[in-house]
């Protein structure tokens, strides 16, 4: 039974729940009890425009009746089936996902409960299939918080898991706004980044590397769109050395970039796609891997040493099928693409009005604003992997007071609303951002 007041709910949450990624003392987040469309509602009835689709996940928006009905129907029909047995919904979802990718020779799906599990299993599966021990990932990346995915992560959320999984090597990837390769030319950035990757391969022995794992757009470390030619260049390097290319599309999949996958948006096909979040519009936990048939076929004659109790859980499978139905029937991927113009225009309008916005970047419905103390020097409000001195806390508090939920990390804010957001809702979100940016700039002095 729910507590009688929002204050009591906040206290109960603080007393019994360990909230991720924060120190617990003094944390008093809103208690969300309802949601509809692109709006969250807390226990006091206050509404918040969801400008980040939960955690870049609720692509269909909240309260989709068809999806909710499919989940309920499946729970009443078959709530659980052993993962090594067959299941009608499991087979259907796997078939549709493989066809959605469109590899010439097809492929197969392996299901997990989330993105971190999927990346853990990608490392295991590709090491088995290739006989090679090493995995390469970018420094500016996040692949999940499980033991293996933490090791593959390049940023600070890796540190508490160290020493972690052996055999993971990190490299620098392009970031045109803050080039790690000392150039302001995007074409030169790509050239130097690919040369750097080849250098790392020479140091690590390319023949010992099973996979290169990349977010095709950097997600929770800044929503960084790689310059033209980089992903294609990595694909060529992988082909040259017989290395599997894995795209972590946990955030970028299912219409977020205006296409089924970022692989399609950028015209670069990987060998493996890790997915989660949007596959069920986050209504039910589900993740997994889509593997090109040339890799998946290895396990026809070799044991697949991977699996989970909830692999291919029937309720999650039904949610996935219903979500794909909705994406198709409601033209949701097209809506994601159509949001690109309004999002860019609205955020650039804010940039013209606020000196704290150093850059607006993104594609589809996946954008970020990078917040700076000084546009000329590009000094960040909070250094990447540095500590907030209070200014971003001010920004976040102002957003909440103005009725908006925006994911922020260090000095950037992710603007990635449900793909179904209405024009009026988006404008309300921009108004909240406008006011909060003003409060941020007052705090900066």
131: domain CATH number? 3.40.640.10
Domain final residue pick, 313, 329, 345: 329
Residue 56 shares a structural domain with residue 77: no
Residue 268 shares a structural domain with residue 205: yes
Joined tokens for residue 262: 């970022």
What is the arithmetic mean of pLDDT over 423-439? 97
In this predicted structure, the answer to whether residue 299 has a pLDDT above a threshold of 90 is yes
Residue 154 shares a structural domain with residue 218: yes
Output 315 or 5, whichever has higher pLDDT.
Answer: 315
Residue 317 shares a structural domain with residue 343: no
Residue 314: pLDDT band with limits 50, 70, 90 = very high
Query: Residue 35's pLDDT is what?
Result: 97
Residue 410 shares a structural domain with residue 303: no
Residue 368 shares a structural domain with residue 254: no
In this predicted structure, the answer to whether residue 1 has a pLDDT above a threshold of 70 is no
Give 337-362 pLDDT, tens digit per residue.
Answer: 999 999 999 999 999 999 999 999 99
Written in H, E and C, the secondary structure of the chain is CCCCCHHHHHHHHHHHCCCCCCCCCCCCCCCEEEEEECEEEECCCCEEEECCHHHHCCCCCECCHHHHHHHHHHHHHCCCCCCCCCCHHHHHHHHHHHHHHCCCCCEEEEEECCHHHHHHHHHHHHHHHHCCCEEEEECCCCCCCCHHHHHHCCCHHHHHHCCCCCCEEEECCCCHHHCCCCCCCHHHHHHHHHHHHHHHHHHHCHHHEEEEEECCEECCCCCEECCCCHHHHHHHHHHHHCCEEEEECCCCCCCCCCCCCHHHHHCCCCCEEEECHHHCCCCCCCEEEEEEHHHHHHHHCCCCCCCCCCCCCHHHHHHHHHHHHHHHHCCHHHHHHHCHHHHHHHHHHHHHHCCCEEEEEEECCEEEEEEEEECCCCEECCCCCCCCCCHHHHHHHHHHHCCEECEEECCEEEECCCCCCCHHHHHHHHHHHHHHHHHHHHHHC
In this predicted structure, the answer to whether residue 129 has a pLDDT above a threshold of 80 is yes
User: Is residue 5 in a domain?
Assistant: no
What is the arithmetic mean of pLDDT over 258-280? 98
Give 8-39 pLDDT, tens digit per residue.
Answer: 898 998 899 999 998 998 888 899 999 999 99
Query: Residue 4's pLDDT is what?
Result: 53
Residue 192 shares a structural domain with residue 241: yes
Query: Residue 388's pLDDT is what?
Result: 86
Residue 51 shares a structural domain with residue 176: no
What is the arithmetic mean of pLDDT over 270-290? 98
Residue 108: pLDDT band with limits 50, 70, 90 = very high
Query: Residue 6's pLDDT is what?
Result: 81
User: Is residue 3 in a domain?
Assistant: no
Percent of the chain with pLDDT over 70: 99
What spatial distance separates the first Cα and last Cα of the chain, rounded to whole Å?
47
pLDDT mean across residues, the chain:
96
Residue 313 shares a structural domain with residue 424: no
Round to whole Å and give the CA distance between 313 and 326: 20
Query: How many domains does the chain contain in total?
Result: 2
Residue 268 shares a structural domain with residue 361: no
Round to whole Å and give the CA distance between 411 and 372: 7
Q: Which of 20-24, 166-170, 394-398 is predicted with the least confidence, judged by mean pLDDT?
A: 20-24
Query: Residue 7's pLDDT is what?
Result: 84
Give 41-64 pLDDT, tens digit per residue.
Answer: 999 999 999 999 999 999 999 999
User: Is residue 19 in a domain?
Assistant: no
């Amino acid at each position: 039974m729910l507590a009688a007041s929002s204050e009591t709910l906040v206290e109960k949450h603080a007393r019994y729940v360990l909230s991720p990624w924060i120190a617990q003392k003094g944390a008093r987040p809103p208690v969300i009890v309802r949601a509809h469309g692109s709006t969250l509602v807390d226990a006091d009835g206050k509404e918040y425009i969801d400008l980040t689709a939960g955690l870049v996940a609720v692509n269909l928006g909240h309260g989709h009746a068809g999806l909710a009905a499919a989940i309920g129907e499946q729970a009443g029909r078959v709530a659980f089936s052993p993962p090594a047995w067959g299941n009608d919904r499991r087979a259907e979802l796997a078939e549709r996902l493989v066809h959605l990718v469109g590899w010439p020779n097809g492929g197969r799906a392996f299901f997990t409960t989330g993105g971190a599990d999927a990346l853990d299993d990608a490392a295991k599966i590709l090491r088995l299939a290739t006989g090679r021990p090493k995995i390469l990932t970018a420094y500016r990346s996040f692949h999940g918080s499980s033991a293996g995915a933490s090791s593959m992560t390049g940023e600070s959320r890796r540190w508490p898991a160290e020493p972690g999984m052996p055999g993971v090597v990190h490299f620098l990837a392009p970031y045109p706004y803050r080039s790690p390769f000392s150039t302001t030319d995007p074409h030169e950035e790509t050239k130097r980044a690919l040369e750097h990757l080849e250098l790392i391969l020479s140091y690590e022995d390319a023949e010992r590397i099973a996979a290169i794992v990349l977010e095709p757009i950097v997600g929770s470390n800044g929503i960084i769109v790689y310059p033209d030619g980089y992903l294609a260049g990595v694909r060529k390097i992988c082909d040259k050395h017989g290395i599997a290319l894995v795209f972590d599309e946990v955030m970028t999949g299912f219409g977020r970039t205006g296409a089924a996958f970022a692989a399609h948006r950028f015209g670069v096909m990987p060998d493996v796609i890790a997915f989660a979040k949007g596959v069920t519009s986050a209504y039910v936990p589900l993740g997994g891997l889509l593997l090109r048939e040339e890799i998946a076929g290895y396990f026809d004659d070799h044991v697949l040493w991977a699996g989970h109790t909830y692999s291919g859980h029937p309720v999650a499978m039904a949610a996935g099928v219903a979500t794909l139905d909705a994406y198709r029937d409601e033209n949701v991927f097209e809506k994601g693409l159509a949001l690109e113009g309004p999002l860019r225009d609205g955020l650039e309008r804010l940039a013209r009005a606020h000196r704290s916005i150093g850059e607006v970047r993104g594609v589809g419905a996946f954008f970020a604003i990078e917040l700076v103390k000084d546009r000329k020097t590009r000094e960040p409000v909070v250094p990447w992997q540095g500590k907030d001195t209070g200014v971003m806390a001010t920004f976040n508090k102002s957003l909440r007071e103005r009725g908006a939920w925006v994911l922020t990390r260090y000095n950037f804010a992710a603007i990635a609303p449900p793909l179904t957001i209405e024009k009026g809702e988006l404008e309300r979100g921009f108004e909240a951002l406008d006011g909060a940016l003003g409060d941020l700039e007052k705090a900066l002095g």
